[in-house]
């Protein structure tokens, strides 16, 4: 019993060390940094910190700014010390330019994002992870105008199924990859590939007429309709370390390739139920290889090697989507994902 208790305490201590981190200031950090158009919060954090996801820990709140995490081109970032602790502060003097007789103020929409949102916009607004039951229940395309079988933007389509009176816009999806946990064999979800969007024009019983307003590829008979789920992301969200211990894997990459590089979108086999949150930064590790010890003659496993960083930008119940922010070498499906 004593050994068991000591073991439990040891595990808790290790977990605490894995989660609780301190900001690691770069030895050669600049005295100041001027924000330019195209910067991201990650870029600026990396200028001062070796662990840029710890940005919130040293951010000094300016009471004169309604949202202290809004940073704009022209702002000057400095690292200073208060009571022996590092703090990042921002000089906002360039935010307002007086032009007599009026004042020009930088719009909040011009604030720099945390990460390159253009790289993940399609996934934020369109990508879906669903269950087989959801697909089975979803209405399906039965025909196009004049009984056409392939449709595009501006075409009318006919779909059959149960429609919600309160929904006027539907997304059109096609069944994609099936995601299975490589460790447990559990079905984690099914990719619903975005094909386009249609606006409801008429409903006659279980047959609906929709006008296609957007397409990413040709719509086909059998494609499924799901209530529109357009999403936006708050560009002021910032990187964070996970609150719990993470032991996961990359199980897929957008585009169906096996090699992963910087700014690629990956699927991770952990989601809401495991405590994953938007903004969580995770380290990616290459598995250690097996080599023969030529002295002792046996086989040894080399340590896993850290190879990159990924930030979660969307979560589902059992899966998360992440953007690769750093990659020291090509990453791949089955690479390990852990606390940074």
Check if the beta carbon of residue 171 is closer than 8 Å to that of residue 187: no
Handedness of CA 66, 72, 75, 79 (dihedral sign): positive
What does the pLDDT read at residue 61?
54
What does the pLDDT read at residue 9?
32
Distances, alpha carbon 28 to alpha carbons 40, 76, 235, 313, 321, in Å: 20, 18, 29, 30, 33
Handedness of CA 11, 13, 16, 18 (dihedral sign): negative
Q: Within a 10 A sphere around the Cβ of 320, how many other Cβ atoms?
A: 27
Q: In this model, does residue 185 exceed pLDDT 70? A: yes
Question: pLDDT digit string (tens) for 134-168?
Answer: 999 999 999 987 666 677 788 899 999 999 988 99
> CA nearest 267: which of 248, 286, 281, 283?
248
Check if the beta carbon of residue 324 is closer than 8 Å to that of residue 318: no
Give the separation between CA 119 and CA 112, rounded to whole angstroms: 14
> CA nearest 276: which of 61, 129, 121, 178?
129
Q: What is the DSSP letter of 240?
A: B
Contacts of 87 (CB under 8 A, 6+ apart): 58, 59, 60, 79, 80, 81
Q: What is the DSSP letter of 280?
A: B
Domains and CATH numbers, the chain: 17-112 (no CATH), 127-227 (no CATH), 247-338 (2.40.10.410)
What does the pLDDT read at residue 257?
66
User: At 110, is the pLDDT very low, low, confident or very high (cuts 50, 70, 90)?
Assistant: low
Question: pLDDT digit string (tens) for 259-298?
Answer: 788 888 899 999 999 999 988 999 999 998 889 989 998 9
Give the separation between CA 1 and CA 7, rounded to whole angstroms: 10
Check if the beta carbon of residue 252 is closer than 8 Å to that of residue 337: no
| Neighbouring-strand partners of residue 70 | none
pTM of this structure: 0.73
Check if the beta carbon of residue 47 is closer than 8 Å to that of residue 85: no
Percent of the chain with pLDDT over 70: 75
Question: pLDDT digit string (tens) for 188-237?
Answer: 999 999 899 999 999 999 999 999 998 888 888 999 999 987 655 554 56
Question: pLDDT digit string (tens) for 87-109?
Answer: 888 876 665 544 334 433 444 45
Check if the beta carbon of residue 179 is closer than 8 Å to that of residue 191: yes
């Amino acid at each position: 019993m004593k050994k068991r208790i000591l073991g439990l305490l040891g595990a808790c201590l290790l977990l605490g060390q894995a989660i609780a981190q301190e900001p690691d200031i770069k030895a050669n950090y600049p005295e100041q940094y001027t924000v330019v158009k195209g910067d991201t919060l990650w870029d600026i954090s990396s200028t001062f910190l070796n662990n840029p996801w710890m940005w919130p820990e040293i951010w000094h709140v300016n009471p004169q700014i309604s949202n202290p995490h809004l940073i704009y081109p022209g702002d000057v970032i400095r690292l200073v010390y208060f009571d022996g602790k590092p703090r990042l502060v921002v000089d906002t003097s360039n935010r307002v330019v007086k032009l007599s007789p009026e004042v020009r103020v930088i719009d909040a929409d011009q604030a720099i994002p945390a990460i390159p949102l253009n790289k993940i916009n399609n996934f934020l607004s369109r990508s879906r992870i669903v269950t087989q039951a959801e697909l089975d229940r979803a209405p399906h395309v039965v025909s196009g105008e004049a009984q056409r079988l392939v449709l595009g933007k501006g075409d009318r389509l006919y779909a059959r199924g149960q429609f919600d009176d309160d929904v006027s816009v539907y997304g059109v999806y096609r069944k994609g990859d099936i995601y299975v946990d490589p460790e447990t064999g559990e079905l984690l979800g099914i990719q619903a590939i975005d094909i386009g969007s249609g606006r409801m024009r008429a409903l006659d019983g279980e047959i609906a007429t929709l006008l296609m307003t957007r397409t990413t590829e040709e719509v086909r008979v059998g494609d499924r309709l799901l209530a529109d789920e357009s999403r936006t992301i708050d560009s002021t969200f910032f990187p964070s370390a996970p609150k719990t211990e993470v032991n996961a894997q990359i199980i897929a990459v957008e585009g169906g390739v096996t090699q992963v590089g910087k700014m690629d979108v990956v699927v991770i086999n952990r989601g809401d139920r495991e405590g994953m949150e938007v903004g969580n930064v995770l380290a990616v590790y290459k598995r250690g290889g097996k080599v023969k010890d030529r002295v002792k003659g046996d086989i040894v496993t080399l340590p896993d090697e850290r190879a990159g960083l990924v930030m979660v930008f969307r979560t589902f119940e059992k899966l998360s989507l992440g953007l690769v922010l750093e990659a020291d070498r090509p990453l791949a499906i089955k690479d390990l994902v852990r606390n940074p």
